[in-house]
Structure 1
Amino acid sequence: MTYNYFEHSLEDIHAALQSGELTATQLTKDTLENIKQTDGELEAFVRLHEDAALEAARVADEEGNFDNILAGIPMAMKDNISTEGLETTGASKILSGFEPVYDATATKKLKAAGAVIVGKANMDEFAMGGSTETSAYKKTKNAWDLSRVPGGSSGGSAAAVAAGQVPYALGSDTGGSIRQPAAFNGLAGMKPTYGRVSRFGLFAMASSLDQIGPLTRTVKDNALVLNAISGFDERDSTSANLLVPDFTEKMGQSIKGMKVAVPKEYFEEGISDEVKLQVNAAIAELKAMGAEVSEVSLPHTQYGVAAYYVLMSSEASSNLQRYDGIRYGFRAPDAKSLEEVYKKTRSEGFGPEVKRRIMLGTFSLSAGAYDAFFRKAAQIRTLIIEDFNKVFEDYDLIVAPTTPTQAYKIGSEIDDPKAMYMGDVLTIPVNLAGLPAMSVNAGFNAGLPIGLQIIGKAFDEQTIYQLAYAFEQKNHFAENVPAIGKDF
């Protein structure tokens, strides 16, 4: 490719487009060609939207208006974010061939900024999974080691950025689905505060937990993308009607005197020695940079996974009722009655993990189980929120590992749901509390990245970016390139 995304930031690409050194059309053609050459191994994309991408690039060149930082620059969209007239399936057979008649608000904002959507990134089916192995279409690989998972559910988005196929991508995060693949791929991945980015047009899994956010190679690129997609949306009843700040504003400011909490529960049994070692080294570095670091307790963390899977599955079982073969998507061809249409379509259209969660959620909401499971889970959620509130009375940020382990081998955990679910033990509490959190590259062990999670107060993404940027500038981990990228 003529323009190497490993060597240039969004600001670099923007400057080249403004000066005429690059055209959006040539950049898009090169990007698509590069994806075709590398995606046979990586399998980051479910499908490319070549004609639409080239048309968007042509319009950008014709108008010549590259004032917006994202104008004319290719990107990847997770396959559960609506794009008008372009097939969007949630990586599920049940939505094969489905073309939305409207854009998600995040899509609409990116199009207004002049972004070029080159295709849909692979994901776990309906975002249910932590390894991108539950997709109905393909299994995405980790760019650093093709024998390992890229994480999930936004694994395709993360792999595409890590491999240099695109400079940024959007993902969604319900229990860690941006931060976990960011950690596994050595990226910056932001899960914004609940309500910061509109959920309109995002295929709902768990409506009280879902949030759209960016995956990028660098912290500043991440903030620039979040600038573009944030804001109030009257079509989303949970959207926060707050002024959107410039998320890059505090970057470059010292972190000296910043009060940082380290929860002891995030370093207990189940966290690998490699992860502990690298994250503790990162925390030591933050201390050396002037941050005031202290250990704290978030005592109800241990109940987070259990509460999450009851609440999430309950909401998912309700949200997925709409996929019935009647109005759109796949319909079982041999059904002979209305009841058979429902049964056969859902049996054949949904994969095993989706069915498991629908059944768990339906049981949790049933008359005999509601008080014992759903109500208790909701009470635990309140206790977790109170834990965070108490810590944030005295601290600016919380730092911890993003994941218990590094990326694991493809196929090694997919048949063990409990092991898969516990992979989100460190990310889930943030979603239950609705807080912003980011994973940044804390370094490497045996050639694989390890993530540092930075958790902030509600709607204080700026301070997260301030710390993340200072840490990134000190270490330059983003300059490392995975093996698949060295051939470009």
Structure 2
Amino acid sequence: MDATLTSRGTDLATLSLVEAAAAVADGSVTSLALTEACLDRIARHDLGLNTVIWTEAETALEAARKADRARAAGEALGPLHGVPMAHKDMYYQAGRLSTCGSAIRADFRPDYTATVIERLEAAGAITFAGLNMAEFAQNPTGHNRHFGDCLNPWNGDFITGGSSSGSGAAVAARFTFMALGSDTGGSIRLPASCCGVTGLKPTQGRVSRYGAMPLSFSCDNVGPLTRSARDCARVMRVMAGPDPRDRTAAQVPVPDYEAKLDGDLRGTRIGIPDTWFMEDVDEPIMAATEAALAVLQARGATLVRLTLPMIEDIAAYSAILGRCEAAAIHAQWMRERPQDYAIHLSARLFPPLGIPAPYYIEAQSRRGPILRAFAKEVFGAVDLLATPTIPMRIPTRLETDIDAGTPGAVERFMGVSRNTRLLNYLGLPAISVPCGFDDRGLPVGLQLIGRPFGEGRVLHAADALQCDTDWHERMPDLA
């Protein structure tokens, strides 16, 4: 076992994804040992966190043994060979449970597998569990009345962020080396911020959505939650690219993101918006954001203050588009099984049925022109935008519990995703990376936003920040 592994002690689950893959490849660790380490941490700690909906331990252990035999036989190894992973429970796998965090699909077992799962496994990854999530991926906090709330591993009183709640918490707790999330209005970036991990929402269409539970035809994205930007870069190289089974998957070449992570930000212009994203930011969040920007500046980046165009229009159209499409997807179930939806979800799904069709068509038709104008004006002046991922200190689960009738819950609930949901209308790539902790010891996330198909530059800046900080290496105490 090499010095890196020895210095971490015997808990192999604390390695990063890239470290774990390298350890399997060079023979210093077996896939079986990694898988056993993840399963052991889940057995010891998940009762207090509720991140996992189902596990298939024996199947995973046998897959790990097979991976070890392949390496011993000298077979060609993929970039994720032997690395165990658990994913948000909305990625279909033939014959396996896929609850979508709901009562309606509590026993659903699809007969086909999501493209993204196939690609991860073709690269050598092992899927061993389905993770808790907000019901039908439709809230920014992570509340779930059917399977119980997933708890933030830093402090269970506070939200994990949603809707990929189990993904964020499980990666933070070192139950899995990577977890797929989905992002329709922030559902990868929000749990990444709340749980102190790294989460990337790619450009719309960068990753195939075939076999992923739909929420919004126009705004859904598939992406990873990991320990680091380098981990994200590794899995994005595997996941991204065209897919004949998904006509919305972009026909754009996929670069080797990881190869370009050199930490050098000289010549990179980072825009700091003076409106919307930086309005009413809580002081501890602003302090952590400014400290992170100083690190990026020291790495060679130039900070540019700028005003973003058309923000109010983007906000209005974003709300119309996502809500109407979600209501359309759930229309039949809402007619037949309304009692099986949580109160807060019904409150989101029923009102859009009253939105006139011309409003939806307007929101859809204006999307392209607004994106072109936004990209020309903003990304003609800067290479990236930087904002707090969540502008407020993380609220508690009680403070955001709409179903319990908590006063002010709706405002806090919606405020969590203020800085993320607009980017899904624009389809821009964005990452949340840990940049500190607030005055209560809870993680703070920095959001970096790029031009369309600019994942490489986003990951490059995120990795540069992580070269000079260790926020992404901090782990919650689960004892």
Does 2:12 align with 1:4?
Answer: yes
> 1:114, 1:321 → 2: CA distance?
39
Return 312-321 or 158-167, whichever deviates more: 312-321
Alignment match, 2:256: 246
Q: Deviation at 1:97?
A: 0.8
- Counterpart mapping for 1:72-471 below 5 A: 72-134=82-144, 136-321=146-331, 323=333, 343=336, 346-364=337-355, 369-371=356-358, 373-375=359-361, 377-378=363-364, 381=367, 384-385=370-371, 386-415=373-402, 416-446=409-439, 447-471=441-465
Q: Secondary structure at the residue paired with 1:390?
A: helix
Cα deviation for residue 168 of structure 1 reads 1.1
User: Would you say the 8 A contact 1:270–1:404 is kept in 2?
Assistant: yes
Report how many residues are paired: 460
Residue 328 of structure 1 is matched in structure 2 by none
Q: Is the Cα contact below 8 Å between 2:434 and 2:446 reproduced in 1?
A: yes
Q: 1:14-55 CA distances to partner (integer Å, 9 max, x unpaired)? A: 232233332222321232121011100011111112233223
Stretches of structure 2 lacking an aligned partner (at least 5 in a row): 1-8, 403-408
Taking only the aligned residue pairs, the percentage that are identical comes to 34
**TM-superposed deviation, 1:306:** 3.8
RMSD between superposed Cα atoms in Å: 2.0
The secondary structure found in structure 2 opposite 1:5 is helix
Distance 1:185 1:152 in 2: 11
Give deviations 1:114-136, integer Å, cap 9, x for gaps. Answer: 21112111111111001110352
Shift of 1:351: 2.2
Q: Verify the 8 A CA contact 1:182 1:439 in the aligned structure 2.
A: yes
Deviations 1:418-448 (A, max 9, x none): 4312321111121111111101111112211
CA distance in 1 between partners of 2:25 and 2:294 (Å): 41
**Which amino acid letter does the alignment assign opposite residue 351 of structure 2?**
L
Letter in 1 for 2:12: N
The answer as to whether partners of 1:187 and 1:440 remain within 8 angstroms in 2 is: yes
* TM superposition score normalised by structure 2: 0.91
Distance in 2 (CA, whole Å) between partners of 1:253 and 1:432 is: 30
1:293 is paired with a residue of what secondary structure?
strand
Equivalent residues of 1:267, 1:276 under 8 A apart: no
Cα displacement string for residues 100-151 of structure 1 (whole angstroms, at most 9, x for unaligned residues): 1111000111111121112111111111001110352111111111211110
Q: Shift of residue 379 of structure 1?
A: 6.4
CA drift at 1:259: 1.2
Q: Taking structure 1 as reference, are residues 356 and 267 closer, same or farther at Cα in structure 2, changes over 3 Å only? A: closer
Q: d(CA) in 1 for partners of 2:299 and 2:69?
A: 47
Give TM-score, length-normalised by structure 1: 0.89
- Residue 29 of structure 2 corresponds to residue 26 of structure 1: no
Correspondence for 1:329 = none
Distance 1:305 1:318 in 2: 20
1:284, distance to aligned residue in structure 2 (A): 2.5
Q: Who is 2:53 aligned against?
A: 46
